[in-house]
Amino acid sequence: MIEIKGLTKKYGQFKALDNLNLTLSEGTVFGFVGANGAGKSTTFLILATLLQPTAGDVLIDGVNIRKNPEAVRKMIGYMPDFFGVYDQLKADEYLDFYGASYGIPEAERQKLIPQLLELVNLSHKRHAYVDLLSRGMKQRLCLARSLIHDPKVLILDEPASGLDPRARVEMRDILKTLKNMGKTILISSHILPELAEMCDEIGVIDNGRLIAHGSVAEIQDKLRGERVITVRLVGQLDSAIAFFEEDPYVLNIEKLDADDGIRFSYKGTEEDQIILLKRAIMNNIPILSFMEHVTNLEDVFMEITKGAD
């Protein structure tokens, strides 16, 4: 469905995108992860035919965006990270304007608008001025707007940014519905656990380069390296430290802030980890809990953006 080949964007000497290659099949929900300025929005702007690439090509459903941007516009629904609305229009008029802009006949628009408003839970605001809607409602209205021409591909740049937790949950639920409708969705977000939950594939971009691409589990494994284990104890802190120090796979032992346990890095296999726990219990170490710190997408994000401004 989407094929990005050698995509490069330069601003003078600065490379915002550096030879980006990516292929996504139909119905995929792809999450773009990266620090601010990593190149996510630049990629999305090029896909939305709003920015000319310096080099490379993008094909959406076989159509080259360079050769036929008009055809591409009919296939994509784009929601920018920052957008404005026409404050003096009502919610249904707003959708009607964009429907007309896509050449949808009026009779069809009149059927579509209530359906879209229902999809984004805004039926009750149909006749409300856009100006009076909350930020979360405006985001949802903009999402409905991007769906008015039934696009095959949705490009959503930070759709949940600036939303309160409730609005984020609502946005996430709508995106799940769209995923079930079989849309190919490209989404960038800093709300990483949400991406992990709904994305089939994740791409990690840093300094314009795609440094990792795969399923959420694959990315986590790839970037995980050493495990971090937290052991909470009921007393005998020093004897526990002495015990764990003897294990060759245990590194960097440190006491917890509350002085009720220790934390260390572990580079052994999962089998080694099981043996270590058994040995600790047999040596009467008073373990209250033995917990591996699960590396989530947030950690991956922090890891890859380490040192970035």
Partner 1 sequence: MKMNFNNPVLFKELKLRFRSPKSFIGILFYLIAMCIFVFGFIFATMTMSGTSYFRPSESFILFGLLAFIQLGLVLFITPGLTAGAISSEREKQTLSILLTTSQSSFQIITGKLSSSIAFLLLLIVAGLPIYSLVFLFGGISPLDFVKVFFFLFVTLLAIGSVGVMFSTLIRRTIVSMIATYGTMLFLSVVTGFIFLIVLQMTAFNHMGTGTPSPSMLGHIIASINPAILFASLLSQGMGDSISEMTQVKFPIWIGYLIFYLSLTVISLFIAVKKLRVNMKRSK
- Give dist(CA 196, CA 211) in Å, integer: 17
R_g of the chain, CA atoms, integer Å: 24
Q: Does 9 bind partner 1 (CB under 8 A)?
A: no
Q: 290: which strand partners?
A: 231
Q: Does 80 bind partner 1 (CB under 8 A)?
A: yes
Total count of residues recorded for the chain = 309
Closer to partner 1 by CB, 23 or 86: give it: 86
Please report, as a single letter, which amino acid is at residue 185.
I
Closer to partner 1 by CB, 51 or 119: give it: 51
- Give dist(CA 220, CA 90) in Å, integer: 44
Stretch that binds partner 1, among 25-33, 81-89, 173-181, 277-285 (CB under 8 A): 81-89
Q: Does 78 bind partner 1 (CB under 8 A)?
A: yes
Instruction: Output DSSP code: residue 303.
Output: H
Please report, as a single letter, which amino acid is at residue 105.
P
Stretch that binds partner 1, among 89-97, 175-183, 211-219, 232-240 (CB under 8 A): 89-97
What are φ and ψ of residue 253, in 5° steps? -70, 135
- Give dist(CA 210, CA 39) in Å, integer: 9
Q: Does 70 bind partner 1 (CB under 8 A)?
A: yes
Q: Does 109 bind partner 1 (CB under 8 A)?
A: no
Q: Does 149 bind partner 1 (CB under 8 A)?
A: yes
Contact pick of 51, 167, 237, 256 for partner 1 (by CB under 8 A): 51
- Give dist(CA 302, CA 87) in Å, integer: 38
Q: Which residues bind partner 1 (CB under 8 A)?
A: 45, 48-52, 54, 65-67, 69-70, 73-74, 76, 78, 80, 82-86, 88-89, 93, 97-98, 100-103, 142, 145, 149
